[in-house]
Amino acid sequence: MQDSTHETLVIIGSGPAAWTAAIYAARANLNPVVYEGEPTPEMIPGGQLMWTTDIDNFPGFPEGIGGQEFMDLLKKQAQRFDTRVVGEAITSVDFSQRPFTLRPSWSPPITADAVIVATGARAIWLDLPNERRLAQSGGGVSACAVCDGALPFFRDKVLAVVGGGDSAMEEATYLTKFAKEVVIIHRRDEFRASKVMAQRALTHPKIRVEWNTTVTDVIGDDFITGLRLQNTVTGEESELEAGGLFVAIGHTPNTAFLGGQVTINEAGYIVPTVPFRTITNIEGVFAAGDVIDDYYRQAITSAGTGCMAAIDAERWLAHQGDA
């Protein structure tokens, strides 16, 4: 390919996993290039932490730190070691032979000896205009109770959780530590969560359930003050006063661009071929962060797997004689 550029290591993504991988790879003299993606209605470069106003659970920040500031610091640290950054997404890949071929959004294709996929997963939202606005502005709407629930903003308030699976049960139970009351809003008359998780939520004195109910609007200008609800059986509408909304209806891993060449599970997450490693079914392709994690989904765990992926890639490239 005459117009293509060849790279030793390409990192796809721009969350904690990608930048941590870049830091480790750059310090190992792999000269990595990061394709950080482009803004879309669903995601922006930097991932879900770009919508998080305060991060209080990442070690090393005793006073907490804003999500956008945190991601900017990670990026700058990677660039300090001469990581190159391209503001494009990788739209498709060809992993059928080495060097691999990757196609950016508008630039010519590039080739790479090794690739780290750290594209994360995006939260599934309710698609209500005020929901997304308040989530982005720090107005009390979140897709991660473990990330945000302990913030002073949510303490001693009525908090709503939308969902009916294990994640929703976990979020609701976790929030009882801080909330005055937790209201689970579920569109059906029974949970799809496991019996153990459902029972734990149903028997908790701080949790009550609005069955057969959907959220039709989020009320509030600068901050959420309540929810408009509709009963799915009777059509009856009502309002719920609430100081926070946690949407727990799932995540979609950003793996479609891989074209099925990397092994994924039924939910779309990349499946490493070796436990506690970042190796995929394609030699030379590694994965890190929320794109392989449907359980923890935390910045600190993503960063950890980013470190692991860089080390795995470095050792693999050295074995191949490429590093």
- Catalytic: which of 72, 94, 127, 147? 147
Measured between alpha carbons, how far is 204 from 32 in angstroms, rounded to an integer?
A: 49
Measured between alpha carbons, how far is 201 from 163 in angstroms, rounded to an integer?
A: 12
- Catalytic: which of 144, 166, 293, 312? 144
In the chain, at which residue ranges do the beta strands (DSSP E only) sit?
Answer: 5-12, 33-35, 84-86, 90-94, 100-104, 110-117, 121-123, 141-142, 158-162, 181-185, 207-210, 213-219, 226-231, 237-241, 244-247, 251-253, 285-287
Q: Which residues are 252's β-sheet partners?
A: 122
Buried b (16+ CB within 10 A) or exposed e, 243-262: bbbbbbbebebbbeebeebb
Contact between 186 and 211 under an 8 Å Cβ cutoff? The reply is yes
Active site residue 147: yes
Other C-beta atoms closer than 10 Å to the C-beta of 174 total 17
Active site residue 3: no
Contacts of 198 (CB under 8 A, 6+ apart): 169, 191
Q: 3-state DSSP call for residue 246? A: strand
Q: Count of H helices and E strands in the chain?
A: 7, 17
Active site residues: 144, 147-148
